[in-house]
Amino acid sequence: MQPAKQSTAGKLLGYAVRYLLPLALTVALVWYMFKKVNFLEMMEILRTGVDYGWILAAMGISVLSHVARAARWRIQLRALGIRPPMMALCCSIFGCYALNLVFPRLGEVWRCTYVAGRQKAPLTTVLGSMVADRLADTLMVLLLTVLTFVVASGAINAFLVKYPVGRGLVDLVENPMFWVGLIVGIGVIWGLLVAFRNTAVVKKLKGWIGELWNGFAVVGRMPGRGKFALLTLAIWGCYYFQLYVAFFAFPFTRELCAESSLAFGLTPCLVAFVLSSIGMAVPSNGGLGPWNIAVMFGLAVYGISDAQGTAFSMLQWSGQTVMLIILGVFTMVYIALSRKKTGRVGESPARILEQES
DSSP of 239-258, one letter per residue? Answer: HHHHHHHHHTTSHHHHHHHH
Per-residue model confidence as pLDDT tens digits over 96-145: 999 888 887 788 989 999 999 999 998 888 888 888 888 888 889 889 88
Q: Which of 46-50, 77-81, 136-140, 231-235 has the lowest mean pLDDT?
A: 46-50
> If you ran DSSP here, which 8-state letter would residue 103 be given?
S
Q: Where are the alpha helices (DSSP H) in 152-305?
A: 153-162, 164-174, 176-195, 200-221, 225-247, 251-258, 266-279, 290-300
Boundaries of domain holding 282: 49-356
Residue 72 located in a structural domain:
yes
pLDDT band at 62 (very low <50, low <70, confident <90, very high): very high
Residue 21 located in a structural domain:
no
- For residue 186, the model assigns a pLDDT of 86
Residue 327 located in a structural domain:
yes
Euclidean distance between CA atoms 275 and 196, whole angstroms: 42
Per-residue model confidence as pLDDT tens digits over 193-210: 778 778 877 777 776 676
Amino acid in position 206: K
Residue 289 located in a structural domain:
yes
What pTM was estimated for this model as a whole? 0.76
Q: Is the pLDDT of residue 90 over 90?
A: yes
Are 144 and 236 in contact by the 8 Å Cβ rule? The answer is yes
SS3 280: coil
Residue 1 located in a structural domain:
no
Residue from 57, 85, 60 nearest 71 by CA: 85
N-term to C-term CA, the chain: 30
Are 245 and 57 in contact by the 8 Å Cβ rule? The answer is yes
In a 13 Å sphere around the CA of 1, the CA atoms on its Cβ side amount to: 0
In a 13 Å sphere around the CA of 69, the CA atoms on its Cβ side amount to: 28
Domain count, the chain: 1
Residue 179 located in a structural domain:
yes
Per-residue model confidence as pLDDT tens digits over 141-158: 889 888 888 888 777 666
The mean per-residue pLDDT over the stretch 44-61 comes to: 89
pLDDT band at 334 (very low <50, low <70, confident <90, very high): very high
